[in-house]
Amino acid sequence: MEFLPLFTQLTGKPCLLLGGGQVALRKARLLSKAGAKIRVVARDVLPELAALAEQSGGEVRVGEFDEADLGQVFLVIAATDDHALNQHVSEACHQRLLPVNVVDSPELCSVILPAIVDRSPLVIAISSGGKSPVLARMMRSRLESSIPASYGRLANLASRFRDAVKAKFGDIEDRRLFWERVLQGPIAEMVFAGKDAVADQMLAKEIDQAGPQVGGEVYLIGAGPGDPDLMTFKALRLLQKADVVLYDRLVAPEIVEMCRKDAERVFVGKKRSDHAVPQDGINQLLIDYARQGKKVARLKGGDPFIFGRGGEEIEQLALQHIPFQVVPGVTAAAGCASYSGIPLTHRDYAQSVRFVTGHLKDNSINLPWAELVHSHQTVVFYMGLVGLPSICDQLIAHGRSPDTPIALIQQGTTPNQKVVVGTLSNMVAKIAADPVQAPTLIIVGEVVQLRSKLAWYEDRDLAQPQL
């Protein structure tokens, strides 16, 4: 590192500015923002610059630079277009160990002025060490557009409560965890919404009621059915915060790839009846990682609360007082339906839709069949491939017409999506002739017919990158 960034307190300190033109004026504006007393020495001085120097409590001397000007100043900025003079000033300052900045000549500088993103009291300084000011300015533009203006007010909020938090938490680590939570949580959102007074009240209450701090946190994230574009912004934001990511077979590899490069990735299963890590083990892992102070993302296929056992995982977290957030996801039924052109409801064909599990228990499926055979209802079976023969038989046995349309969607929303359409009476034979691969979703009901009208084009189930 050629230059160590330091933030300098200039209030009331005399600073020498050599040069009286536009460049010097720009530097004078900066110095004046920082409260410095500006002494200008130049052959010619712009009136605006002279006024700024006087307002700052400094002065202007019209004439040639003299080494005596270097006495009793804290910082020197040379902004003249006279290279020989700039060089002379730089050497004189180096001899006296006086910090000097020469505009546009990094080799003559002992200090450089960075590009600044000003969200006072939060200030971000960017420097390329004088190698490429344009690059530094580009970085600044990026930060300018991504850091809300209200961050300065957030820093002021922290400053107002700094002593109170210090008094509450003797331990420095507890203080860090407390502030991390506050600055990323609902109190910060209040500041962003311009409600500083409410944020103050909330923070005062939070300090009052805060118990021992737990650094870890768990995000139970619905990752959607496969296509990474179906993740929510919130899912992506929290995933990228995580130190550890737990995922299973249903989560697309491209989605796991979106986590931070330094995040630990843990595969936790599960294939049908082949649980790599049993559910209790997953619950325990979440607790253990969070207890180590880590931010843990638990990625779940689809939506965590739809046949996802998400409820069980957070029940344990709640019992252990571990903070958590649940992020909903696009469930397989919604994803497969839209990507295969089958609306789950339709004014003419289905006024309701039911999501049921076709998972076999003791070689049979326990479902209220009589309720599933109403004609104006769509029934979606999750985990139904193995039980398909039984599902078709039972629906027919309980009164649904053998001609009822049924669709089986393999790996919906992914490039491997495949849709097989048939009727309750011929679907089993169709699948035997044209095998499919898990995960698959089954949709039963008249709405399946609409696919022929609503699928955008016939072969859209074949590999389509954007599917």
Question: Which region, left, alpha or beta, applies to residue 225 given φ > 0 means left and ψ of -120 to 50 means alpha?
Answer: alpha
Shortest distance (Å) from residue 272 CB to ligand SAH: 8
The Cα–Cα gap between 304 and 109 comes to: 57
Q: Which of residues 273-302 bind ligand SAH (CB under 6 A)?
A: 300-302
Task: Identify the residue among 441, 444, 448, 450 touching ligand SAH (CB under 6 A).
Answer: 441
Q: Specify the DSSP element, H or E, that contains 18.
A: strand 14-18
- Sign, CA torsion 10/13/16/22: positive
Q: Which of residues 136-155 bind ligand SAH (CB under 6 A)?
A: none
Q: Which of residues 72-91 bind ligand SAH (CB under 6 A)?
A: none
Shortest distance (Å) from residue 442 CB to ligand SAH: 8
Output 127 or 414, the one with its CB closest to ligand SAH: 414
Which part of the chain contacts ligand SAH (CB under 6 A), choosing from 13-21, 110-118, 279-287, 433-441?
A: 433-441
Task: Identify the residue among 182, 187, 250, 290 touching ligand SAH (CB under 6 A).
Answer: 250
Buried b (16+ CB within 10 A) or exposed e, 367-381: beeeebbeeebbbbb
Q: Which of residues 354-413 bind ligand SAH (CB under 6 A)?
A: 382-383, 409, 411-413
Shortest distance (Å) from residue 164 CB to ligand SAH: 43
Tokens 């491939």 found at: 385
Among residues 132, 125, 9, 23, which one has the least CA distance to residue 78? 23
Output 227 or 243, the one with its CB closest to ligand SAH: 227
Buried b (16+ CB within 10 A) or exposed e, 242-276: bbbbbbbebbbeebbebbeeebeebebbbeeeeee
Q: Which of residues 312-331 bind ligand SAH (CB under 6 A)?
A: 331
Question: Which residues are annotated as catalytic?
Answer: 248, 270
Contact between 226 and ligand SAH (CB under 6 A)?
yes
Cis amide prior to 121 (ω within 30 degrees):
yes
Shortest distance (Å) from residue 336 CB to ligand SAH: 5
The Cα–Cα gap between 249 and 223 comes to: 12
Crossing angle for the helix pair 151-168 and 172-184, to the nearest 10 degrees: 150
Q: Which of residues 402-421 bind ligand SAH (CB under 6 A)?
A: 409, 411-414
Number of residues that bind ligand SAH (CB under 6 A): 23
Pair 11, 34: CB distance under 8 Å = yes
Task: Identify the residue among 327, 336, 420, 427 touching ligand SAH (CB under 6 A).
Answer: 336
Task: Identify the residue among 56, 80, 127, 440 touching ligand SAH (CB under 6 A).
Answer: 440
**Residue in the shown chain whose Cβ atom is closest to ligand SAH:** 302
Output 161 or 339, the one with its CB closest to ligand SAH: 339
Shortest distance (Å) from residue 304 CB to ligand SAH: 6
Shortest distance (Å) from residue 385 CB to ligand SAH: 7
Output 128 or 440, the one with its CB closest to ligand SAH: 440
The Cα–Cα gap between 232 and 253 comes to: 17
Shortest distance (Å) from residue 419 CB to ligand SAH: 10
Which part of the chain contacts ligand SAH (CB under 6 A), choosing from 185-193, 231-239, 306-314, 369-377?
A: 306-314
Contact between 114 and ligand SAH (CB under 6 A)?
no
The Cα–Cα gap between 253 and 228 comes to: 9
Tokens 């500088």 found at: 109
User: Could you write out the DSSP letters of every residue in 254-303?
Assistant: HHHTTS-TTSEEEE---BTTB-SS-HHHHHHHHHHHHHTT-EEEEEESB-
Contact between 303 and ligand SAH (CB under 6 A)?
yes
Output 133 or 445, the one with its CB closest to ligand SAH: 445
The Cα–Cα gap between 118 and 234 comes to: 27
Which part of the chain contacts ligand SAH (CB under 6 A), choosing from 6-14, 186-194, 228-236, 434-442?
A: 434-442
- Sign, CA torsion 229/231/233/235: negative
Residues in contact with ligand SAH by the rule CB under 6 A: 225-226, 250, 300-303, 306-308, 331-332, 336, 382-383, 409, 411-414, 439-441
